[in-house]
Amino acid sequence: MIAPPPPNTMSRPYRGLSVQEVDIALTVPAITSFLLGREVYRRTEYLVLRNADAAALVQVRKESDDELFVSAVESRVLAGPDELLWIDSSDTDVGNATALAQVALAHAKEGIRAYVVRGRFEHVNFIWEPFPVRIRVTEVVPPAPPKLLAMAQQAVAFDEDLPPLDLQLDAVDITWQATANVASVYLLPCRGSSADLPKPVEFLDTRPSERQDWLLIGCERSLQFHRHFYGDEPPRVDICPRQRTSAAGELTLTKCCLLERGVEYTEGTAVVPWGANLDEVRGALRWLTGLAEAGQTPNRLEE
């Protein structure tokens, strides 16, 4: 017996969905009679049956997958015309769960359970009861948008195995920290931040020739650099993203410059290096969503 689908169900890949024009009433008895014993392509798992402006979403169970076309031996009407919304969105990649969920939620209507999207290249897919997984992305700004968020969005755009994600920026704002911690001179880790602060700014990566009475807005690694350059520890505001606390059960993607390579996993949190590559960010997202186990290569903090 075909079980009810969980939220976020879609056809993976989208070739598993067949769209067919029919001249039958889109009721459960009529659809069941129409499909029982009917030949379907062996890769077909779902059908959208369209009659004029009405449509229904159906899941089928096939006799086997041995031949090119096989008989349907069971069907389940997932959504009739009153529970299905057809959306034309020519820019949407219908093979991507996050893209599908975004366009579905943008057109959300009460009572609708299945959203069928005709997207890029005229390809069609559906998403059932979209409910994106929320992941907090903790990162330093400026620059804005921050690199880790941009990389996560890039990974989501091409990884078609991921469930729909809702990436929420949790910004560690250098400008706000400077405003809240007034100093005559600020020392930032590097010029890459492009922060516009109300007082003079020096940059640690340029190794200023003179030690000034500055406030270091930086992480543990910056403190180590300062100790090496000047032999002391200045007053400091710690902006390490991984030091931010998260709520119980919250999924978090963050970074830390003490991590040289790989990904560090703790309960509900994936930490990538400051100079993470796209594969590390993608792996972190897959682990957070339960698609992959933590890597076997041990990661360590460099002292």
pLDDT tens digits, residue range 198-248? 789 999 999 999 999 999 999 999 999 999 999 999 999 999 999 887 777
User: pLDDT at position 248, please?
Assistant: 75
pTM confidence score: 0.89
pLDDT tens digits, residue range 4-19? 999 999 999 999 999 9
List of the chain residues with pLDDT < 70: 192-193, 294-303
User: pLDDT at position 63, please?
Assistant: 87
DSSP track, the chain: -PPPPPTTEE-SSGGGEEEEE--S--SHHHHHHHHTT-EEETT--EEEEEETTEEEEEEEEES-SSSSEEEEEEEEEEE-TTTEEEEE-TT--TT-HHHHHHHHHHT--TT--EEEEE-GGG-EEEEES--PEEEEEEEEESSSS-HHHHHHHHHHHH-TTSPPEEEEEEEEEHHHHHHHS--SSEEES-GGG----SS-EEEGGG--SS--S-EEEE-HHHHHHHHHHHSS---EEE--GGGS---TT-EEEEEETTB-SS-EEETTEEEEETT--HHHHHHHHHHHTTSSPPPSS---B--
User: pLDDT at position 238, please?
Assistant: 95
Just give the CATH number of 133-172+241-288: 3.40.50
The ranges of the chain annotated as CATH 3.40.50 are 133-172+241-288
